[in-house]
Each structure stands twice: as structure tokens, then as C-alpha cells.
Structure 1
Amino acid sequence: MSIRSAVRAFIDDEVVPAERELNAANGGEPLRRLKHSAKDQGLWALGHPTELGGGGLSFGDFVLVNEHIGRSKWGQLALGTVSMQDSIMLHRFGTDEQKKRWLEPLVAGDIMPSVGLTEPEVAGSDPTLIQATARPEGDEWVVDAHKWFTTGASGAAFTTIFARTEPEGTDPHQALSAIVVSAGTPGFQIVRVVPTMGTTHGDHCEIRLTGVRVPADHLLGERGCGFHVAQIRLGPGRIFHAMRWLGQAQRAFELMLERARTRYAHGSVLGEKGEIQRYIAESAADIQAARLLVLDAADAYDQDGRARDQIAIAKFWVARVLHDVIDRAIQVHGALGVTADTPLEEMYREARYARIYDGPDEVHRMTVARRLLADPRRAPWLRGDND
């Protein structure tokens, strides 16, 4: 059995049947059992480097596996891939000591990370506006920050804070630094868990850091390179997200097919109605087209480590497809679709996040349009023609 098939079987046979129990326990013991099972089957942390205890899959192979992981919101936690973006960041920029302290236990699933990027006072879509500051004082950094949507901060072992470290007037793309702050450091306060629509696992926290002192060697990467560090974390993460969204869309599609085959109304099963057939056909086309967009973005990223246009296009397009397919599936289910008797109503609420986090759709569309207006040869379908 291939790795992809094994992951699909694990999600469908073990994770999906346990979802109600997982939701009721907020992970808890049911999640611990699933983690042990994944490790026993050799399915743990498949995209992490082998030297760190991961499966060592290539970027492209891990993208494909993510499609199946996304079928359940608990898939990432059960298979140890939820830390992938932070692991990429630490592996790329961390010192040997930082990797030993944070990266190794992260890959093992012993600790969880969080990242402080978004701030309530400024637009989260523009990191050059970040107001958090960190100043060197002796052999320490003194950090002052107000962040929110710092997902999972209440249970994280550390939070990577992006803060302004360079003098006023510095190029805004070279004014930020990334600093790792351990949980429990004096002055680090979890203000609240922000109530949000949906039930995405991992609290969305508002946090404050007031005169927080951390050792100078907690700087992640070079000083003033925080914007670059953030982009290295976010770029591949957008591809991972999009493939998981496709897994969700495929699951919603399967539920729609099952309902259309079995629900009888007005003289025939729903699947014989022209409008329902349109829902099915358009959903199949949307999913396949979106899938090819993401795979193309992953291939481009594999080649140049950037793929900015391909990733941006895939991000906003797949977010829309995710919403539309789940919406159609709910419509086919009728009243049942808006109840908690199927996963669709929760999937629908979760899907609304997709058009905002890791950059709102409007910003991705704007940046793609600007780059194409400046140089039409950047069109994704011309990739390779300009070499």
C-alpha cells in the first residue's frame, strides 16, 4: 500500500469515525490513541526531515498526502503534521541549540508552537505595519507586543513573535525580526481566547507582552530579516492549506453524492433532478481544476522556492471552491445539512476562515494582478518559456 493510500485509510477508518468523540473531548485521550496508532503504522510527521524523526517525504509528495489529511479537521493533529510550517521555519533559520530545544520535541509531537504576527490595531494583511517592538538590552531582547489570532498560544511551549527591531526609516521589509518567546516568560499574558465562528481546534488567542525579556540567542534568523522568515513560513503553508481544503471539498462532494443517490422526493431520487446533477458536475469540475492549480503551484515552488503568483492564485481560488462545494452539499441535504447530524455545517463555518487567514483573498488577487500588469510574461502558463 502506498503512503497516500495508507494515510487515506487511516483518516477514513480511524480518524473520521472518532470525530464526535474527539470533538467532545477536545482531542484528549482519543487524540492520544490516534497519535500512537499513526506512529505504530509509520505515518507520523511524514513531511518532516528523517533526521528529526519525521517521514522525510519530499515537498511534492507531502503536498499530495495533505489532500487526504485534510478530510478531517483532526487529521493534522493525529498525524503530527500540524507543526509543519513552524518546523520549516525552525529548520531553515534555527541555530543548533534552537533546533534541539524546540524543533526536535515539535516533530515528536511533545510540544506545540504558536506564532504572533497579527495585531488588532493594524491590518494583518500588511505585516509592514506591525507595531510590536523588541530592543536589545545587554544580552537580552526586551519585547513589547499586542497580538491576536495567535492560534494555540494558550497551550504552546513557545510563541515566535514578529516585532520591529530596526530604527525608524528603515525599509519596512527589513525592519522586523523573529524572536522566540517561551511560554511562562514573565510579562507574557494570555489576555483571552477570542470567540470566533466555527470550532477550529486551537484557541485563537489575544496576547500581550509587556517588557518581556528573552535571551539574545532567541533571535530566529538574522536581525531585520523577520519579513523573509515569515514568508518562508507562509508560502509553503498556503499550498498545504489548499490541499487540505481540497480534501474537505472532496469529502463534502462524497456526502452530496450519497444523499443524491438515496433521497427520494417529487417522483424520483434527487440524483435524477437536473439541478442536482448540475451541482454534482460543477463541483467535480471545480475540485479537479483547483487541484491542478495547487499541484502546479507545488511544482513551481519545488523548482524556485518561491512560486509567488502560482501560490497566490491557488490560495484564493481553492478557498472559493471549498466554500461552493460545501454549500452545494448542504443544499442537497436540505434541512439535514444545517444540523450537526452531518459534518457539513461545521465544515461550512470552518471554510469561511479560508478566505482570510494566510492573507485575505483580496490581497492575493491584488498582488497577482499588479505583477501581471507590470510584466505579462509572469503569467503562470508561460512558466518555462522565459528561461
Structure 2
Amino acid sequence: MAIDFEIPADAKLVRERVQAWVQDECHPAEQRLLAGEDQTTVVSELRAKARAKGLWCPFIPTDYGGMGLGPLANALVQMELGESYLAALSMNSQGPDDATMLTLLEHGSDYQKERYLKPLLNGEMRVCYSMTEKAAGADATGMQTRAERQEDGSYLLNGDKWFSSAASHADIAVVMAMTDPTAPRHKRYSTFIVDIPSDGFCIKRDIPTMALQSPLDAMLRHAHSEIEISNVKVPSENILGGEGNGFSMGQHRLAYGRLRHGMHNVAIAQRALDMTTERVIGRSTFGKLLADRQAVQFMLAECASKLYVARLMILHIAYKAEKGLDLRHENSIAKVYLASMVHSVVDIAIQLHGALGYSQDTPLARWYTQVRAQRLVDGPDEVHTWMTGRNVIKAFKDNGTTRAACGGDLL
């Protein structure tokens, strides 16, 4: 039997609908913002229109008001949404809200689903995820923020958080803190839902980064915050998923975030390659079109090859997710590759645009500085590469071959 790469008709249809939505509605809405229209009005109108068209929360079950898409269809959708600033936000599929919705859906109590998940799904609230700390970095088990249980069953949280994305415009924060320093390393942490504002929860600043900011970044407040947590009282009903389960839930949550970043990276790289190809077929130097030069064709071929591998990776992981198979190993490989891929493609696009690419008259320079973060967020490349190497060694020890660590379990 042949391997079938035919996209199911329903998944193909939803991809086409979303593709049209991004081109016909999201890009024009961006221009409205740049022309000076009120951000709240434009975004509210766009989201209302998306919801009316049934383009809302792609990955959320229909019983909760979402589109109920499986992993494959959602992957196809996300690879379209990455093209626009507003696309994911328009469909209530933006990070970090998306992964938190999934966590609440799977682990939240009835109270938490009513109090927090429901307004998140309705687009009435935004959320930030506060796990990262300066002292811990890539080692999440090194977190120092503490949560001490009080006599009335509540918890007092104390600590400092770093690079909490979207905190400056969030209504709630999902905070990971140590509840039992004597427990096994991965059972020391619990996750708490904190209302913003709360006494003692202080957003000290939005951290300046190397990423170039466009007017749309400023309007949509794409920022990462430094937070001081001082005696923040959290009721017992706001502990998410039970005491000691914060680390495992966090890793599950980050797994989706890694894939979503990668899917959006494909969209950015595809748009960069399209822009570049249009540029080289219309520009001549020394009496010859750039497109006719073999060196330029090789550079375009490199981009195309990387995008091809990237899409196959995502489709393979989506397939494993559809089948309920373990995809942690492939997720780590793809996370590293997709981050490198988008940076490489945008770099080549800048080179072939020349001074125009280096300027801020195209989105290329902004993308170049922004996608650099992909090699750091949700676990730096080196940690995922280290894990992949360990899996290669384990596969050989277990089976006498490394096939299982190289896609050979299915192919």
C-alpha cells in the first residue's frame, strides 16, 4: 500500500477558507491600523467577523465553541495564520493564550473552566504564562518562586519571573511555583491562576530586545515582561491540575507552543521566498536579470528545499498526533530545524533584496531580528539537540540501530 499524502477534503477546505481570510481581511485590517484607525475598534470588528464566519479557536472542540480541528487541519491553518500580524489574534488562536486554553481544557476544574476558560474562549480575556526565571533559564526545575500553603488553604506566592509574554495586556497569569522543595525534582512545582491586577503582582517593565518593532508591534503590545511577585495570595481553587503537577503540565503546554511557532515560521519563510522571487525576476544588474544567474537560482533552491523539509516535518508530527503516538522526539528535532530554517530563508531574502532588504521598507529586517528568538524560546536549541542525541544513543542501545530516533519507526 502506498503512503497517501492526499489532504482530506474537509481539511483542504478549511485551509482555503483561512487562506482567503488572511489575504482578504487580515492584511487590509493591518493597513487600517497603520492608517491611524483605532486599534480596539479594528481588532474587535475583525474578531466579530471571524467568529460569524465560524473561524474561531481552530483547535478547540465544537462543544466549547471552537472549530474542532484535529492536529493535521490545525497545522494547515496555523501555516496560513503566520503570514499576518492579526491573523491568529483574529481567530483567537494567538500565543500564549492558545496553549493555556488547551491546558485549562484538559486539566481545569469545573470552576476554572467557567471562571477562566470560558471568557478566554470568548475572546473576553487574555492570559500570560509565567514560568521562566533569570536564575533558572533553560532548566525549568531550577525555578525559585515559592508558593507556601496557608492555614485557610490558600497559597502565598513570592518570587521573580522573566520574559512573561503578553503580561502587560493580560487579565490573568498562569504562574508556576515551587510547592514542595523535598519532592522529586519534577514534582516540586504547581501551577496557579492569578488574576491581574492582584496585590503584590507587579509588572516591573516590558523588556527591551534586539527585535525591530513596527507600529503594529506597538499597537498590539507584543512584549515580554519582568514581574515581581510579593505575597500574592491565591485561593486553593486556583491551583491548576493539582499540587505537584505543574512541571508535567508545563511541558505539555510548551510542546504545542513549539509546534505553533514552527508552523508560523513556515508562513513567514514562504512569504519571504515569494517576495524574493518576485524581486529577482524583476531586477537586472550588469545587463542580466538576477533570476537568470545560477548563483541566485541556487540560493532560491536552498530556500525551497528547507521549506519542503519543514512542511514534511510538520505533517509527519501532525500524523503522529492524529494517531495518538508519542511525538516528543520529533517535536524536539522539528523545533530546532524550523527555527534555523526561517532564519536562514529570511537571511537569503535580505541578501537578494540588497540594500532594500537591509532597510525597514520591507518586513525582512524586522522578521530577521524577531525570528532570532525562535532559537531560544520554549527551550534553547542546545537543550533540544542534547535530548535528541540522548534519544539516538538510547535507540541504539535498545534496538541495535538508531532508526527509531531518525523517523525509522514509521518509514
- Give 2:341's match in structure 1, choosing from 321, 333, 338: 321
Structure 1 residues 120 and 16: alpha-carbon distance in aligned structure 2, compared to 1, 3 A threshold: same
Q: Runs of 4 or more off by more than 6 Å in structure 1?
A: none
The 1-side partners of 2:375 and 2:24 are apart by: 30
- Give 1:19's match in structure 2, choosing from 23, 30, 37: 30
> Equivalences for 1:356-371 in 2 at 5 Å?
356-371=376-391
State whether structure 2 residue 135 is matched by structure 1 residue 135: no
Percent of matched pairs sharing the same residue: 33
Q: Deviations over 1:333-355 (max 9, x none)?
A: 11111222211111111111111
Matched-pair contact (CA < 8 Å) for 2:61–2:68? yes
Q: Cα distance, 1:150 vs. partner?
A: 0.7
The 1-side partners of 2:114 and 2:236 are apart by: 17
Matched-pair contact (CA < 8 Å) for 2:29–2:46? no
Letter in 2 for 1:382: G
The residue that corresponds to 2:6 in the other structure is none
Matched-pair contact (CA < 8 Å) for 2:155–2:235? yes
Letter in 1 for 2:144: Q
Letter in 2 for 1:188: F
Structure 1 residues 26 and 212: alpha-carbon distance in aligned structure 2, compared to 1, 3 A threshold: farther
- Count of residue correspondences: 383
The 2-side partners of 1:7 and 1:197 are apart by: 31
The 2-side partners of 1:223 and 1:244 are apart by: 34
The residue that corresponds to 1:2 in the other structure is 13
Letter in 2 for 1:19: E
Q: What RMSD over aligned residues (CA atoms) do the two structures have, in Å?
A: 1.7
The residue that corresponds to 1:30 in the other structure is 42
Matched-pair contact (CA < 8 Å) for 2:71–2:319? no
State whether structure 2 residue 63 is matched by structure 1 residue 51: yes
> Equivalences for 1:1-150 in 2 at 5 Å?
2-22=13-33, 27-82=39-94, 83-123=97-137, 125-137=138-150, 138-150=152-164
State whether structure 2 residue 216 is matched by structure 1 residue 202: no
Which runs of 5 or more residues in structure 1 are unaligned? none
Of 9-18 and 183-192, deviating more is 9-18
Q: Cα distance, 1:196 vs. partner?
A: 1.3
The 1-side partners of 2:32 and 2:135 are apart by: 38
The residue that corresponds to 1:293 in the other structure is 313
Of 80-89 and 12-21, deviating more is 12-21
Structure 1 residues 50 and 155: alpha-carbon distance in aligned structure 2, compared to 1, 3 A threshold: same
The 1-side partners of 2:28 and 2:197 are apart by: 36
Matched-pair contact (CA < 8 Å) for 1:142–1:214? yes
Q: Cα distance, 1:27 vs. partner?
A: 4.4
The 1-side partners of 2:383 and 2:30 are apart by: 34
Matched-pair contact (CA < 8 Å) for 2:14–2:73? no
Which runs of 5 or more residues in structure 2 are unaligned? 1-11, 397-401
TM normalised by structure 2 equals: 0.89
